[in-house]
Amino acid sequence: MRNTAKLTTAVLTAGALTLALSACGSDKSDAAADYSGPLVVAASPVPHAEILNFVKDNLAKKAGLDLEVKEFQDYIVPNTATEDGSVGANYFQNQPYLDDFNKKRGTHIVPVVTVHLEPLGLYSKKAKKVDELKSGATIAVPNDAVNEARSLKLLAANGLITLKDGAGSEATPQDITKNPKNLKFKEVEAAQTARSLDDVDAAVINGNYAIAADLKPATQAIVLESAKDSPYGNFLAVKEGNEKDPRVVKLAKLLTSPEVKKFIQDKYQGSVIPSF
């Protein structure tokens, strides 16, 4: 029994040592990130994927960057795909949205470089200016926390409503203290706001979805968000720890190049504004 016990102890000790060595080897392997292959970037179709495809077609090869653009219609999957490694980076969002997303979903996405701003706008097929919106009008707003608050702040800045003091990036219709036109709000997914225009009196639409719906923010929005001191610039983002991926560093440099600035200015004519 004593010999058996000694043998068992020796086997267990050897097994534990083997497991420890294996674990060390696994940690070392995990620490060496694989930056080979193309950099796959998740992006909203307009303007993010268009900007990335300009880089891919005109700048990436010379810079030694193998770039693959993967389009998504929503604001959730690009972040979850970046978190789980399905894609290497994403380009579609702003800081308040990312902060809210990381907090609520436990993700670890971080910004790399800010590229552009898409001014949020109020659009209508029934009114050409704010004063023409009728009493009791229904306005569609994005249903995610950040863009809904951003929408309400846009309406407040243009005298349609008043928000209570301190209502910031989490403002909701419950924070409205004055509503002289008795406006009603219909919360829909951001991607559906443009499509809702036929069913409501007006809609607050994110710039990318407005452009995708052939709306021209610079000329067709009843009111348009000011670009001055805006915290809503859209950036290239990665999972924390991948900021120094050589492919990401190359893409960040290309996205803030003079060539990309000119492309944005020429193509979007003020509906998308370079942030660099």
Range of weakest confidence among 21-25, 86-90, 176-180, 193-197 = 21-25
Q: Once rounded to an integer, what is the mean pLDDT over residues 138-153? A: 95
98 confidence band (pLDDT: 50, 70, 90): very high
Encode pLDDT of 16-75 as tens digits. 434 343 344 433 334 456 788 999 999 999 999 999 999 999 999 999 999 999 999 999
For 35-70, give one letter per residue: b (16+ CB within 10 A) or e: eeeebbbbbbbbbbbbbbebbbeebbeeeebebebb
pLDDT at 91: 98
Query: Is 90 exceeded by the pLDDT of residue 116?
Result: yes
Residue recorded with tokens 């559906």: 192
Please give the full DSSP string across the chain, using - where no structure is assigned: -HHHHHHHHHHHHHHHHHHHHHHHHHHHHHHS----S-EEEEE-IIIIIHHHHHHHHHTHHHHT--EEEEE-SSSSHHHHHHHHTSSSEEEEE-HHHHHHHHHHH---EEEEEEEEE---EEE-SS-SSGGGSPTT-EEEEE-SHHHHHHHHHHHHHTTS-EEPTT--TT--GGGEEE-TT--EEEEE-GGGTTGGGGTSSEEEE-HHHHHHTT--HHHH-SEE---TT-S--EEEEEETT-TT-HHHHHHHHHHTSHHHHHHHHHHHTTSSEE--
Domain ranges of the chain: 39-118+231-274, 121-224
Of residues 200 and 32, more confidently modeled: 200
Cα–Cα dist 119/150, whole Å: 10
Query: Is 70 exceeded by the pLDDT of residue 258?
Result: yes
pTM: 0.74
Would strands 109-117 and 223-224 be described as parallel, antiparallel, or unpaired?
Answer: unpaired
Kindly state the tokens that stand for 28.
């070392």
pLDDT at 92: 96
pLDDT at 227: 75
pLDDT at 228: 77
Least Cα distance to 123 among 225, 257, 23 occurs for 225
pLDDT at 32: 56
pLDDT at 231: 87
Q: Do domains 39-118+231-274 and 121-224 have the same CATH topology?
A: yes
Cα–Cα dist 87/21, whole Å: 31
* Residues 200, 252 contacting (CB under 8 angstroms): no
What's the 3-state SS for 211-268?
A: HHCCCCHHHHCCEECCCCCCCCCEEEEEECCCCCCHHHHHHHHHHCCHHHHHHHHHHH
pLDDT at 229: 78
143 confidence band (pLDDT: 50, 70, 90): very high
CATH of domain 39-118+231-274: 3.40.190.10
Encode pLDDT of 168-191 as tens digits. 778 999 999 999 999 999 999 999
Residue recorded with tokens 């268009």: 50
Mean per-residue pLDDT of the chain: 89
Architecture of domain 121-224: 3-Layer(aba) Sandwich (3.40)
pLDDT at 58: 98
